[in-house]
Chains A and B, each alone.
Chain A
Amino acid sequence: MDKWKDELKKAFDAPNPMKKRAFLRSIDYPKMSIYSFLYSQIGYIHKWVWGISALFFFVSVLGSVFVPDNAVWLISGLTPLLALTIISESGRSERYKMFELEMATRFSLRSVTFARLTIISIMNYLLLLVILLITLFINISIPLTSSLYIVTPFLLSAYTGLIIVRKFRGQEGLFICVGVSVGISIFLFISHNIIPQIYQEQYFSLWLIAALLLLLGNIRQYNAIIKQTEELIWNLL
């Protein structure tokens, strides 16, 4: 059979395709679903985001094992670093001048930003939960309320970072975020020594209110960033 095919190929010149593009367009290819799209975006999240998350996880676990008395302060001081992963990804399109191309695609920049922020946020909250469980499991003496001293700084760093990224464009915004995160981190490392009273049990309700307010603030900033992706060009002209 193959021999016949070869002979036929030699004997006759295949005609040039006619209306090839129109034919290809007429084929109803399966379109990518929103779930496949979300999944596809995992691969495009910058590698350093995964690296930072892994570093946070290992240092936190090691801290819980080797310095159990200071584990909460150590993890608390590292959370701004974890929050930077959300912040860095949110302004990436603009930093690398990809936004104009991304805005004109089927899923558009809005979907890209939504997908990446959602993936990283879910990953960060899961990571915090796992770290908390590990820390509390290893150090039974640590009260459950201490989890607020870890979650609240994380929410604070993410919230301030998202505001900064929205107000300051490009690389400049990221540098400011890094500075602010480092500042929060240093404060957290030393605060339990210099102002231990803020960690007293009587202030627990204030910590809880702060955490809830910051959570709402984060949701608000998150929506504002996604909405802003529709208006990027407006600010450039």
Chain B
Amino acid sequence: MELIIDNVSKQYKDKMAVNHISIKLQAGVYGLLGENGAGKTTLMRMLCGILKPSSGTITFDGVDVSEEEYRSILGYLPQDFGYYPEFTASDFLLYFAALKGIPKVQAKRRVNELLSLVSLEDVGKKRIKNFSGGMKQRLGIAQALLNNPKLIILDEPTAGLDPKERVKFRNLINKLGKDSIVLLSTHIVSDIEHIANQVLIMKEGKLIFQGEFDNENGNLEEFYLTQFSEEDNYE
């Protein structure tokens, strides 16, 4: 299993949101760090086929990002998402199961499994509009996992989760990373420290660091801040 991002760029008028990024990802958990506006969300949207790259290619095991086959192995959680007002948690998941092409019988079983996984089984029949931010976020995570994806892209997945939920989420991601490519972005450096096998750091559209990071190398937060202050000093 291999995701190849080859010389991918995204340009908006004069601004290069993502600047010639090339990287190969294999099964494991990758943490994407960067300041606001560094290009993380743009990169993730391109990896999900939502944005077309200005140049470069993205393939998963040889399948191009624009193909239906690519989307069928993809699980995505955007930074912000809504819901149709009449939807209950179950309706929401069943709706996305249909969009992911999962037949109804399997979908129902999978929805129950996932509601239980994210501890929402008791509120499966309740309307989402009554949910807290954390509950909504857990529902979003469940939605991303409906199709047993091989490629999981999570944009700020821990936002809104309380500490207990965050620990549970980390454990889940650890499990998923064993046989999937998981790419997650967050502002919370400690989340990356605990979950990710590999760290990717973006600045101004460029990938300025890629590699493994463990505690023997020091504190990731300090390292992350150093990357930025050093770069800033040059400017």
Binding site for B on A (CB under 8 A): 19, 21-22, 24-25, 29-32, 36-37, 40-41, 44, 46-47, 92, 96-98, 100-108, 112, 233-234, 237
Interface centre among B48, B86, B96, B98 (most CB of A within 10 A): B98
Assuming the contacts A29-B106, A106-B71, A106-B147, asked whether A40 and B82 have C-beta atoms less than 8 A apart, the reply is no
**How many residues does chain B have at the interface if contact means C-beta atoms less than 8 Å apart?**
38
A101 to B180, CA, bound (A): 20
- Is there an interface contact between A101 and B98, defined as CB atoms closer than 8 Å? no
Residues of A near B84 (CB, < 8 A) are 44, 46, 92, 96, 98
- Is there an interface contact between B148 and A101, defined as CB atoms closer than 8 Å? no
Residues of B near A106 (CB, < 8 A) are 68, 71-72, 99-101, 147
User: Which 9 A-B pairs give the minimum distances between C-beta atoms?
Assistant: A97-B82, A105-B99, A104-B76, A32-B101, A104-B48, A106-B72, A40-B98, A106-B101, A100-B78
Residue of B nearest to A231 (CB): B52
Residues of A near B76 (CB, < 8 A) are 101, 104
Assuming the contacts A44-B95, A101-B76, A101-B143, asked whether A32 and B148 have C-beta atoms less than 8 A apart, the reply is no
Interface set, chain B 171-186, CB cutoff 8 A to A: 176, 179-180
Other contacts beyond A25-B179, A40-B98: 15, CB < 8 A? A25-B150, A32-B98, A44-B98, A97-B80, A100-B80, A101-B76, A101-B143, A104-B76, A105-B96, A106-B68, A106-B99, A107-B68, A107-B98, A107-B101, A233-B51
Interface set, chain B 106-152, CB cutoff 8 A to A: 106, 143, 147-148, 150
- Is there an interface contact between A107 and B103, defined as CB atoms closer than 8 Å? no
- Is there an interface contact between A234 and B80, defined as CB atoms closer than 8 Å? no
A163 to B102, CA, bound (A): 34
Task: Label chain B's interface by main secondary structure.
Answer: loop
- Is there an interface contact between A25 and B85, defined as CB atoms closer than 8 Å? no
- Is there an interface contact between A103 and B147, defined as CB atoms closer than 8 Å? no
Binding site for A on B (CB under 8 A): 12, 17, 42, 45, 48-51, 68, 71-72, 74, 76, 78, 80-86, 95-96, 98-104, 106, 143, 147-148, 150, 176, 179-180
Please tell me which one of the listed residues B17, B82, B86, B100 contacts residue A105 in the complex, with CB atoms under 8 A apart: B100
Please tell me which one of the listed residues A92, A96, A112, A237 contacts residue B99 in the complex, with CB atoms under 8 A apart: A112
Task: Label chain A's interface by main secondary structure.
Answer: helix
Interface centre among B68, B99, B101, B176 (most CB of A within 10 A): B99
A108 to B76, CA, bound (A): 12
A183 to B210, CA, bound (A): 60
Residues of B near A40 (CB, < 8 A) are 98, 104
Residue of B nearest to A96 (CB): B82
- Is there an interface contact between A24 and B98, defined as CB atoms closer than 8 Å? no
Residues of B near A102 (CB, < 8 A) are 99
Residues of B near A47 (CB, < 8 A) are 86
Residues of B near A21 (CB, < 8 A) are 148, 176, 179-180
Least distance between A41 CB and chain B CB atoms (Å): 8
A199 to B184, CA, bound (A): 64
- Is there an interface contact between A97 and B81, defined as CB atoms closer than 8 Å? yes
A107 to B68, CA, bound (A): 7
Assuming the contacts A97-B81, A101-B76, asked whether A234 and B51 have C-beta atoms less than 8 A apart, the reply is yes
- Is there an interface contact between B50 and A98, defined as CB atoms closer than 8 Å? no
28 contacts between A and B (CB under 8 A): A21-B148, A21-B180, A25-B150, A29-B102, A29-B106, A31-B101, A37-B101, A41-B98, A44-B84, A44-B98, A46-B86, A47-B86, A96-B82, A97-B80, A97-B81, A98-B83, A100-B45, A100-B80, A100-B81, A101-B78, A101-B96, A103-B49, A104-B49, A105-B99, A106-B71, A106-B99, A107-B98, A107-B99
